[in-house]
Amino acid sequence: MKLDLKNGHVDMSHGSGGRAMADLIEGLFVKAFDNPVLATGDDQARLDVPKGMRLAMSTDSFVISPLFFPGGDIGSLAVHGTVNDVAMAGAKPLWLSAGFILEEGFPLKDLEKIVSSMAKAARDCGVQIVTGDTKVVEKGKGDGVYINTAGVGVLDPSLDLGPHRIVVGDAMIVNGTIGDHGMAVLARRENLDFEEPLLSDSAALADLVQSMIKSGASLHAMRDPTRGGLATALDELAGASGHGFQIEEKAIPIRTVVRGACEILGLDPLYIANEGKLLAFCPYDEAETLLAAMRAHPLGRDAALIGRVVEDKQHFVEMITPLGGRRLISRLAGEPLPRIC
Amino acid sequence: MKYIDAFRDPDLAQKIKAAIHHEVQNTDRIFRFMEFCGGHTHAIFRFGLPDLLPSCIEMVHGPGCPVCVLPMGRIDAAIALALSEDTTLCVYGDMMRVPGGKRLSLLKAKARGADVRTVTSPHEALMMAQDNPARQVVFMAIGFETTTPPTAVVIKQASALGLKNFSVFCNHVLTPPALGWLLKSAGDQNEDVPSLDGFVGPSHVSAIIGTYPYNIAAEIYHKPVVIAGFEPLDVLQAILMLIRQVKEGRAEIENEYSRAVVPEGNRKAQALMQEVFTLRDSFEWRGLGVIEKSALKINDAYAAFDAERRFAIQEQSTKENPACQCPAILRGAKTPLDCPLFGKVCRPENPIGACMVSSEGGCAAWYAYGTRGRRGAA
Which candidate from A314, A323, A334 shows the least CB-CB separation from B48?
A323
Residue B281 lies in a domain: yes
Which chain A residue has the Cα nearest residue B40? A341
Q: Which of B48, B94, B143 sits opposite A326 (nearest CB)?
A: B48
pLDDT for res A18: 86
SS3 B348: coil
Query: Which residues neighbour B22 within 8 Å (Cβ) at sequence distance 6 or greater?
Result: none
Say yes or no for a CB contact (<8 Å) between A321 and B92: no
Name which of A259, A266, A323 is nearest B52 (Cβ-Cβ).
A323
Contact criterion met (CB below 8 Å) for A215 and A289: yes
Which residues on chain B are in Cβ contact (under 8 Å) with A339? 94, 359-360
CA B81 vs. chain centroid, Å, equals 23
Cα–Cα distance between B122 and B127 in angstroms, integer?
9
- Element (DSSP H or E) covering residue B133: none
Angle (CA) A103-A106-A111 rounded to 5° is 105
**How far does the CA of residue A311 sit from the closest CA of chain B (Å)?**
14
Q: Do residue A314 and residue B378 have CB atoms under 8 angstroms apart? A: yes
Q: Do the Cβ atoms of B50 and A325 come within 8 Å? A: yes
Sequence-distant (6+) residues with CB within 8 A of A50 are A154
- Report the gap between the CA of A183 and the closest CA in chain B (Å): 15
**Closest CA of chain B from A272, distance in Å:** 15
- CA distance readout (Å), A273 to A150, A184, A268, B253: 20, 10, 11, 43
Question: Do the chains contact at B8 and A316, CB–CB below 8 Å?
Answer: no
Q: What is the pLDDT of residues A137-172, one digit of tens each?
A: 999 999 999 999 999 999 999 999 999 999 999 999
B4 with A260: Cβ contact below 8 A: yes
Whether A324 contacts B51, CB under 8 Å: yes
Whether B272 maps to a domain, the answer reads yes
Least CA distance to B47: which residue of chain A? A321
Q: Are A232 and A176 in contact (CB under 8 A)?
A: no
Count A/B contacts: CB-CB distance under 8 Å.
99
Q: Is residue B301 part of a domain?
A: yes
**Alpha-carbon span A308 to B213, nearest angstrom:** 49
Q: How far apart are CA B259 and CA B1, in angstroms?
A: 13
- Asked if the Cβ–Cβ distance from A314 to B38 is below 8 Å, we say no
Contacts of A328 in chain B (CB under 8 A): 369-372, 374-375
User: Which chain B residues are Cβ-neighbours of A338 within 8 angstroms?
Assistant: 92-93, 120
3-state SS, one letter per residue, for A25-76 = HHHHHHHHHCCHHHHCCCCCCCCCCCCCCEEEEEEEEECCCCCEECCEEHHH
Q: Report CA A71 to chain centroid distance, whole Å.
A: 13
With both helix axes pointing from N to C terminus, report the angle between A256-265 and A180-189 in degrees, rounded to the nearest 10: 50
Inter-chain touch B93–A314, beta carbons under 8 Å:
no
List for chain A the helix, strand, coil content (%; round to 5): 35, 25, 40
Q: Which CATH number belongs to the domain containing residue B147 in this structure?
A: 3.40.50.11740
Contact A337 B4 (CB under 8 A): no
Residue B317 at interface with chain A, using a CB cutoff of 8 Å = no
Please report the residues numbered 2 through 61 in chain B whose beta carbons come closer than 8 angstroms to any beta carbon of chain A. 2, 4, 8, 10, 13-14, 38-39, 45-52
> Quick one: pLDDT at residue B220?
95
Helical H segments across B25-71, by residue range: 38-46, 66-69
Q: Which residues in chain B are contacts of A190 at CB distance < 8 A?
A: 120
Give the pLDDT band of residue A337 (cuts 50, 70, 90): low
Q: How far apart are the first and last CA of chain A?
A: 57
| Residue B67 near residue B100 (C-beta atoms within 8 A) | no
- The pLDDT assigned to B357 comes to 85
Task: Give residue B147's identity as a one-letter amino acid code.
Answer: T
Count Cα neighbours of B302 within 13 Å in the Cβ-side half-sphere: 30
8 Å CB contact of A337 and B360: no
B107 class by beta-carbon count within 10 Å (0-12 exposed, 13-18 middle, 19+ buried) = middle
d(CA A115, CA A170): 41
Kindly state the percentage of chain A with pLDDT values over 70: 97
Which residue among B51, B94, B120 sits closest to A325, beta carbon to beta carbon? B51
Q: How far apart are CA B23 and CA B53, in angstroms?
A: 12
Q: Is residue B283 part of a domain?
A: yes
Q: Say how far apart CA B350 and CA B98 lie, in whole Å.
A: 10
Identify the residue among B12, B59, B117, B120 best suited for mutation to test binding to A, counting A beta carbons within 10 A and taking the highest. B120
Q: Count structural domains, chain B.
A: 1
The pLDDT assigned to B1 comes to 59
Between chains, do A337 and B369 touch, taking CB under 8 Å as contact? no
CA distance B183 to chain A (A): 23
Rounded CA separation B169/B90 (Å): 10
ipTM above 0.85, yes or no: no
- Interchain proximity B348–A263, CB inside 8 Å: no
Mutate to test the interface with B, among A313, A316, A319, A327 (most CBs of B within 10 A): A327
Q: Is A157 on the interface with B (CB under 8 A)?
A: no
Report the C-alpha gap between B70 and B79 in whole angstroms.
13
Say yes or no: B375 contacts chain A, CB-CB below 8 A.
yes
Q: Which domains does chain A carry?
A: 12-155 (3.30.1330.10), 163-329 (3.90.650.10)
DSSP code at position B336: G
Q: What is the pLDDT of residues A54-107, one digit of tens each?
A: 999 999 999 998 999 999 999 999 999 999 999 999 999 999 999 999 999 999
Note whether A338 contacts B93, CB cutoff 8 Å: yes
Contacts of A323 in chain B (CB under 8 A): 8, 10, 13, 47-49, 52, 232
Using CB atoms within 10 Å of the CB of residue B296, give its burial: 0 to 12 exposed, 13 to 18 middle, 19+ buried: buried
Say if the Cβ atoms of B118 and A337 lie within 8 Å.
yes
Angle, alpha carbons A185-A188-A191 (nearest 5°): 145
Q: To the nearest whole angstrom, how far is the Cα of A164 from the nearest Cα of chain B?
A: 21
Whether B128 maps to a domain, the answer reads yes
Is residue B137 in a domain? yes
Could you give the maximum distance between any two Cα atoms of chain A, in Å?
A: 68
| Interchain contact A292–B (C-beta under 8 A) | no
Confidence check: pLDDT of A334 > 80: no
Query: A 187-226 residues with CB below 8 A of B?
Result: 190
**Beta carbons of A340 and B13 less than 8 Å apart:** no
Instruction: Return the percentage of chain A with pLDDT > 90, whole number.
Output: 82
Contact B290, B283 (CB under 8 A): yes
Contacts of B40 in chain A (CB under 8 A): none
Nearest to residue A266, comparing CAs of A174, A183, A176? A183
So what's the pLDDT on residue A264? 83
In degrees, rounded to 5, the angle at the alpha carbon of residue A42 between the alpha carbons of residues A36 and A46 is: 65
Instruction: Measure B129 CA to nearest chain A CA, in Å.
Output: 18
Interface check for B230 against chain A (CB to CB < 8 A): the answer is no
The dihedral through the CA atoms of B231, B235, B240, B244 has a sign that is: positive
Residue from A267, A256, A244 nearest A335 by CA: A267
Please state the φ and ψ torsions of residue A231, each to the nearest 5 degrees. Answer: -60, -45
B83 within a domain of the structure (yes/no)? yes
User: What are the chain B neighbours of A316 within 8 Å (beta carbons)?
Assistant: 372, 375, 378
d(CA A216, CA A92): 17
Domain that holds residue B125: 68-172+267-310
CA-nearest of A85, A86, A118 to A99 is A118
| Parallel, antiparallel or unpaired: strands B282-285 and B289-292 | antiparallel
DSSP A87-146: HTTT-EEEEEEEEEEEETT-BHHHHHHHHHHHHHHHHHTT-EEEEEEEEEE-TTSS-SEE
Residue A240, min C-alpha distance to chain B (Å) = 15
- Answer whether B10 sits within 8 Å of A324, measured CB to CB: yes
B129: left (phi > 0), else alpha (psi -120 to 50), else beta? alpha
Average pLDDT per 10 consecutive residues for chain B, totaling 378 residues: 82 97 94 95 91 95 92 93 95 90 89 93 96 97 96 98 98 97 90 93 96 96 97 97 97 96 97 98 93 97 97 82 89 90 87 85 84 53
Please tell me which of the candidates A259, A337, A340 has its beta carbon nearest to residue B4.
Answer: A259
Cross-chain residue pair A323–B94, CB shorter than 8 Å:
no
Q: How many CB atoms lie within 10 A of CB B91?
A: 24
Smallest Cα–Cα separation from B374: which of B332, B335, B325?
A: B335
Q: How far apart are CA B316 and CA B337, in angstroms?
A: 30
Within a domain: B279: yes
